[in-house]
Structure 1
Amino acid sequence: MHKGFTLIELMAVIAVLGIVAAVTTPLYRSYQIRHDLTLAKNQVSQGLDRARLLAQSGRNAAQWSFYVPEGVLFEGSDYTNKDSAMSEVYAMPSTIKTSGLTQVTYDWRGRPNVTGTIVLRALSGEEDTIVVTIAINPTMVATTPGDSLTICHQIPGGGQETILITDAAWPDHQSHGDTQGPCAGGSSGGSHNSAGSSSSSIPTPPVPPSLCPSRFMIGSGNLITLTADSSVAFINMAAFITFGEGGPPIPIHVCHSTDAGDHFSHLYGGPGSCDGNGVAKGNAVEPTGTDVRTLHLDTADQVVIKVNGQYKKKSWLAFDETFLSSDQTGQIIMLVNGSTVPDAPAYNSNPSLRSYLKSQGLANAQNEATIGSCQLLLVTELGTLGTPSADFQDDVLLMQFN
């Protein structure tokens, strides 16, 4: 004789199973939603990283993009006309909806064409986000110029001058009686141009009535305008910049424009243009040597200097920064005879800028530039201003107008 379940016992088991299901089903559903959200975030993050790395590696010399809603990595920036054979799919869970940035395209430097937030939203309303920014590797000397102010600086001992400073430096200047906006009637500080005691102060070139009026003038926008046909010698004296302290040297390329920056040419030779990736195709300057090139420039030519530092680590672009003598970011400081040499720190076993220029006979004991009246000295910092590595010796270029 076999003993079976009674109807009451069977109903009790079913009731228990129902209770267990009622408790565990929402928990499993919640787990599944969180899993889908995590999976979607990982897929988008991996797709973005892959697009950036492909662009940096120069694969097919193209931009690479990631289309968020469909999780598609593709070559170029036109999703509609993409080459499917060159695309990769990072499958997105159907339970996840996206908003915010729809597509992110990276250039050969690994920089996105847009910055912002990608929002991932689950059916439950739970959200997660991915922020797309221009990343700065702390081991690099990359820079993001901050906001700046034009102020009238009161020179100790008398006089005033119009200079450009960062927002962060304004409280200190204000406490010393400086005022916002250019000085009335222009600078009364003569041909002297002070960078102040802080490397975050950004001087602009002096604009006196005459520097070397028979050859050139410095006008608004820091444009160097020739007043007569001239033979101009470009003497690149140094390029002390490495990838991190004690690291390998970063090649420096210098280009010049005679039409106010509309077109650039390699100053020391090399194939291709001086735009985009073509800048690095020019001949790099000697890090501790002297490169000299003399050009004949015409009356009314407006000269702009472009300085680029680019370094590839294995197959990816680790560092790439470019600044112009006319961009007024403070990364390139223009000195004339009598200008106060910036008090930039010594870095990476190199002497300070003041010590270096003194050793070259280009500065005196009062830390004033001692160059000819028909010479200009451009000192460049490609890194972050105001940091211990901002020594303003990434490139040192002397221009002689004959």
Structure 2
Amino acid sequence: MASAAEQLASSLNLGVLAKATELKKRIWFTLGALIVYRVGTYIPLPGVDTSVMGELMAQHGGGILGMFDMFTGGALRRMTVFALNIMPYISASIIVQLMSAALPSLEALKKEGESGRKKMNQYTRYLTVVIAMFQAYGITLGLESMRGSFGPAVIDPGWFFRLSAVVTLVGGTMFLMWIGEQITARGIGNGISLIIFSGIVANLPHALASLLELGRTGALSPVFIVGFMIIAILVIGFIVFMERAHRRVVVQYPKRQVGSRMFGGDSTHMPLKLNTAGVIPPIFASSILLIPATIAGFSRGGGPAWVNWIVSQLAHGQPLYMALYAALIIFFAYFYTAVVFNPQETADNLKKYGGFIPGIRPGNATAEYFDYILTRLTTIGAIYVAAVCLLPEILISHYGVPFYFGGTSLMIIVSVTMDTITQIQSHLLAHQYEGLIRKARVRGRVR
């Protein structure tokens, strides 16, 4: 841990950062793009009374609407042009990844290199438009049926409003997708992840103010608030430790002789992350479990008694909800890990390039070895993700802690921050190498 901290401090040296002009341009470009995104989250959708949507979110903010509003950075609550945010693109990406694992044609396309990656990205964009159109149309129909204390949500309902709203919302999603791609190419970090990250972080001050307000009014004791802050810091540290944890699998390459020279014989390692699935399992699990509660909230308690009983058992903090939440997280951890990591394909690639694991035969035996290791790692990773998500869930349900302090949001914040810092370190290291090369060339010319 000490060596990692020293490496981080040396990599983020301000003197080196001041000389890295290319890195500074990338950082400024990223900040400018995120500012444009945040400004767009305050531009209201034409023809909509945003106060009605605010009332709805105040009543049903604990359901799936609250989770989506967290990911959109408050854009859904304010019903702005970025109300859909980047979520249709993420859904399309996940669907394309799942289809590539199920359809041989897409799996072969993924193996074609850069050209195949471009085609897969194009398919993802097309599917994003389709998903965004369906979601936008559903939002427009829902807005037309909403009424608040001051009147209807839509000033002039009809087909003209539906068409203009769908075009605006879909255009906002495609614009955010373009911004995310530009950040990835010309900025620093992953653009799509940074958009979600900035939306969550932008609302953290408001969530912290709400928490302190609960302490001021006496709803929460000061001792509990201090204890909660300490627990949050410890959870963040635990997430950092677990996200950096990985298993190193030693890979050996045999020696080969070309003419009179000997090549190869190198030994390297393949890092397998403890949490390969990332934040996908809690996002999927939350979405599935919050749908019944949200539907029941819209029906205002109407419906069969058995439906109301199931919904009450699936409320936040109930034993059934906690058990199903943990089970779904573990299931999706295994499922998504199997999608993103193919042991047989990895073993075939090692065999193709002459690599092998010491003591393990190339081919099927190597694939079985990878599957054995990955199963054990995923078991630990799934339990870790479930524990991180369940602890804040208890605090949210029993003590009224704001939704933004949930385990999913903390995992997204920590993961994106670590990834961005890693990329900054890589750029700084490349800049230092370029400086050493230039100095060596100058000394060679002088001599």
TM-score range relative to shorter protein: under 0.3
TM-score, scaled to structure 1: 0.22
- Higher normalized helix content (fraction of residues): 2
Higher relative contact order (CA 8 A, sep 6+): 2
Q: Which has a greater percent of strand?
A: 1
